[in-house]
Structure 1
Amino acid sequence: MRVLLVDDSRLARAELRRLLAAFPDVVVAGEARNADEARALLAAQPVDLLLLDIHMPGETGFELLASLEAAPPVVFTTAYDAHALRAFEVNALDYLLKPVQEARLTAALDKVRAQLPGDLQAPVAAPVVMAAPVAPLSGHDQVFVKDGERCWFVRLSEVRLFEINGSYTRIYFDQHRPLIPRTLAQLEARLDPKLFFRANRQQIINLSFVAGVEPWFSHSLRLTLRGGAEVVEVSRQQSVRFRELLSL
């Protein structure tokens, strides 16, 4: 996989080179400090991925993409989360916040590999996180959440609770409670079962947020979650699974 780094910061490019060195199938095809240099390099040689900063002297990363007749797959790397919505509107494969985390970069590269021709999809030692729809999302993964005019880019490890709300699901993280158009069944299929547990028909909890457990009616359990005022009643059947899952 040939990658072009576009960032006006020399240190940021050096850090990306260091992270990419861990992937034997990745070759850094070049570096550009601005849109003009990036256009020249793209005209000279095709690449499989553009790791692109947004704020640069002269043209922004978005303006660079708009000027290209055909753009390679793009993953944005930026210190700002305010442009996440626009990034996905221009079909970016991912949006990595600086400092870029190795797990997030791994997930982004998996997305790129999934789009490459079969002979270019080289296997790597790093675990696949998001390459296929059935692959579970780990706690390290960040997800884009939009509720009305508000947007968040949330690390799943920070989400303590998913709860049905009509035909939507409410997500609990920090003091926020946005709604997303997903069912619990859809979310359960994507979430890591080692971290997220289906407590009942209405709720999925993040096990790392369980602060207290007490016996409840008919051999069921009641859980208290830290970080909020939520108390979750675990169904009788799921209480059996909960005990089996967390017992020695």
Structure 2
Amino acid sequence: MKVIIVDDEPAARGLLRDQLEEFGDLEVVAEAKNGVEAIVQINEHKPDLVFLDIQMPVLDGFDVLPYLKERPIIVFCTAFDHYALKAFDENACDYLLKPIEEERLEQCLAKVRKEQNKIENISEILTEKRGLEKIVCHQNGVHMVVWLKDVDLFRKEGRYTLAMGTNGSEYLTDLTIAHLADEINDANFFQINRSVIIRKHIVKSYRVLASGAGELDTFEHGSFSLSRSRLVDFKAWL
């Protein structure tokens, strides 16, 4: 976890740095002696955690916050207890009184790690690729929405892609096989060659040919070639 220490007192910065060195998962990447330096260092290094003094010349700790491009976990460190309510109004993770006791610092870091886990979990949820759930197709000149769960396979058909439905219906879409392969985030589908994507439950059998490529049979849609470059991944997928 990357850490920045902000304090206008050199002795206070040094003491906290020495205390933090006892924790193997923390790395102090920068220090700042005033609010202006703090803004520059935090925006440059993008730390996970900042220990931020409150009373400093020109800009105090609270004045720093609006200038941060990305908000790290903030722990306010001060010799005064009357800023506590304002600190938590600013969504600080914790509020430490100087001089900082070892036990109190350990408690603080336990809270910080929990907060970091929450942030990482939320980030994973926000960045997780949801993938296509439905596609716009056309059939006999009529446009319609077809749900991915109702498709057995996609096959290149001239300049279009043919979507073959589980009920025997066939639809055309303008989306290419390459685009569909990138956007479908469903483990039930697999691209077996440059022209075909299939759903797992339609696979009846497959065999490896002398060339190293493969061939697979489906229950209702005939046989398809299996690219040699996709064979290993296909076996793992199946």
Q: Normalising by structure 1, report the TM-score.
A: 0.46
| The structure with more radius of gyration | 2
